[in-house]
A and B are shown apart, each in its own frame.
Chain A
Amino acid sequence: MENNELETLRQQVAEFKSRLDKQEIVSDRMLREAMLSRTKWMIDANRFALPLSLLVIGLMIYYYYSMHLMPLWILILFIVVFLIEIASNLLNAQLIRPDIIATHNLVKVRRELTKFRRREKLYLMINLPLIALTIILWAWQRPDLFQAWVAILIGFLIGTLIGFFIFWREMRSINETLRQIDEYENAL
Chain B
Amino acid sequence: MDRKEEFFNRVAREYRSTIYTVCFMYATDQDEAADLMQEVLIELWQSIDSLAEVRNPRSWIYRLALNVCISQDRRRRRHHTVPLTMDIDPYDEPDPNSQQMELLRRRISRLPMFDRAIVLLWLENMSYDEIATIVGISVKNVSVRLVRIREQLKQMSDN
Contact = CB atoms under 8 A, between A and B. Distances in A.
Decide whether A and B are members of one complex: yes
Interface string A2-26: 0001100110110111011101111
Q: Per DSSP, are chain B's interface residues mostly helix, strand or loop, or mixed?
A: helix
A13 B17 CA distance: 11
A92 B18 CA distance: 33
Contact of B84 (A17, A25, A33, A104): A25
A35 B132 CA distance: 31
B20 interface: yes
A59 to B, nearest CB: 29
Interface residues of A, number: 45
A158 interface: no
Nearest to B123: A13
Q: Per DSSP, are chain A's interface residues mostly helix, strand or loop, or mixed?
A: helix
A105 interface: yes
Interface in A37-93: 37, 39, 41
A35 B82 contact: no
Interface string A170-188: 0000000000100011011
A185 B124 CA distance: 22
A154 interface: no
Contact of A30 (B41, B46, B151): B41
Contacts of B18: 17
B88 interface: yes
A142 interface: no
B86 A24 contact: yes
B42 A23 contact: no
A106 B145 CA distance: 15
A173 B128 CA distance: 31
Contacts of A37: 42, 45
